[in-house]
Structure 1
Amino acid sequence: MYSLDFRQFERTLRTQEKTLGRFTFRPLSIPEDTPLLHSWVTRPYAIFWGLQGASAATVEQEYRRIADSCDVYLGLSEQGPVLLMEVYDPANGSIGSHYPVNEGDAGMHILVAPPTRRISGYTWQMFTLVMDFLFSSPEINRVVVEPDSRNHKIHALNRRAGFIIEKQISLPEKSALLSFCARSDYQQAMIKDKDKTDAVSFFQATL
């Protein structure tokens, strides 16, 4: 679908508190990854994924269906999987009827693995990992998302990354906020975020 070169992509991520290590991606493998997926998407924090109470067989069936129209990846730390990422062509889904799809648009879904311990800034680092991976492809000029209008946590991450809300739309499974982030929007958001982080770090160092 898109030329995302997972074999060549890697990032070393850091929060203000610590270095998180090296991160890469690999394609989802069904049925091998079914137990992992099932353990993530059925938890309460993943309620907007729509698979609460689903059996492992149902999750596997759903991801075989999703894989027909999406590229699905696992983000990996040096210790193991840390996130699930779906990339799709907006022209081929219901979202395509809500706006004029441009060449270079890529739809995206992200689910971060359930936390084993709290690390401040971790989810944001996972979000930037996905955005960096997407924009590593010269074919992708703009990322399109349609999060559930009730999912306030993802709205905050989207805003921080430079997404601009276009409008509220009705999809078969939810009321969603159609939002866009061009490559330049993300670049500017990351510069602004770095400036803010550097200012906080300086302030803390002078206390």
Structure 2
Amino acid sequence: MPRLGGVFPGRAFHADSTVGRPRRASLSSCRFHPVRREFTGNTMTISITNRPAPSWLRELAHGRAEYEELLGWPVSVQVGNRVLIIAIGRTVEAVTMPAALGLRVRAELGIAMLSGPVVADPDGVRWTFLTKPIDRLRPNITADLSHLRVDVATHGSHVVIPTGPDISVGKVWRWVERPAPSRTPPPAYAVTAVTRRLAALDHLLAA
């Protein structure tokens, strides 16, 4: 099950993929193949029926193809939870925080012309900023962020993203700030630095 920020550890199942880079998903390629076994005397006959995949799986496959074509992101289908997830590490990093704090961080990044993709969970409680990859945060930075309920996804984990690049409304995983092929995500250090600065300012004002 995902954490509050939509973080999944480990590897993901690819709905229509081969080893290595997933193939382009198409609506027609997502099909179920139930197997039926019939016994006649000592003979067993196996027949395979070809049924269309359910609509939610076709929607996820279509969304994954859109992300791959538009942004080149390593997006996978998490069938058990019926969501799309993106691998953390080589392409993107993810910083997840409470929505109230995320609203302020997003505004500051916008002023600095460092806006990037931001995902809200279905309840709007947590926001996830997608950033450029980062090697490792210093322990003191990690500790500061932890006190603020801010999580930086670990390499090899996954975070949930909306079912399509244009999903921005509804009680679903949605984009607060949509991704765009012409705009690269901000550096992870920019997001964490703004977050810590705002927290320090709050501390000074409360003193």
The normalised TM-score by structure 2 is: 0.31
Q: Higher helix proportion, which one?
A: 1
Of structures 1 and 2, the larger Rg is shown by: 2
The normalised TM-score by structure 1 is: 0.31
Higher relative contact order (CA 8 A, sep 6+): 2
